[in-house]
Amino acid sequence: MILIAGTVDVDPERRTAALEAGKPHVAGTRAQKGCVAYVWSADPMIDGRIVVYEHWETEEDLALHLKGEHYLNMRNTIAGFGLSAADVSKFRVDHREPVYDSTGTPRADFFTG
């Protein structure tokens, strides 16, 4: 499992328009093989900041996305709205489990085998 998480900063006056312009690229990416989640959304606390979250089944699926039209079109679209910073990282995940245990208690530790 591959997760992508980070932030992209654009002109605060144009963030809403940037997200609207990116919707077709988000929709196209969500239809790609191996895409479990692909979300670009406004940070409610920092003007101009977009939060990026992606979940891919495999590195191969992510690699195809990064070479494809939806990635390139999204990158170019967002750049046209006063892109001033980007801090986006990828994470390879080897273990996954729920936050809540069987009693409904949220846990920070990893409690399943």
pLDDT one-digit tens code per residue, 25-65 = 999 999 999 999 999 999 999 999 999 999 999 999 999 99
Is 36 contained in some domain?
A: yes
pLDDT of residue 113: 76
Is 50 contained in some domain?
A: yes
Is 18 contained in some domain?
A: yes
pLDDT of residue 96: 92
CA–CA separation, 94 vs 105, rounded Å?
A: 23
pLDDT of residue 61: 98
Is 112 contained in some domain?
A: no
Is 61 contained in some domain?
A: yes
Interval 56-112: pLDDT, tens: 999 999 999 999 999 999 999 999 999 999 999 999 999 999 999 999 999 999 998
Domain, as residue range, for 8 = 2-92
Specify the number of domains making up the chain.
Answer: 1
Comparing CA positions, the residue from 1, 8, 77, 79 lying closest to residue 40 is 8
What's the Rg (C-alpha) of the chain? Answer: 16
Is 34 contained in some domain?
A: yes
What CATH number should be reported for the domain holding residue 25?
A: 3.30.70.100
pLDDT of residue 112: 86
Task: Give the global pTM.
Answer: 0.91
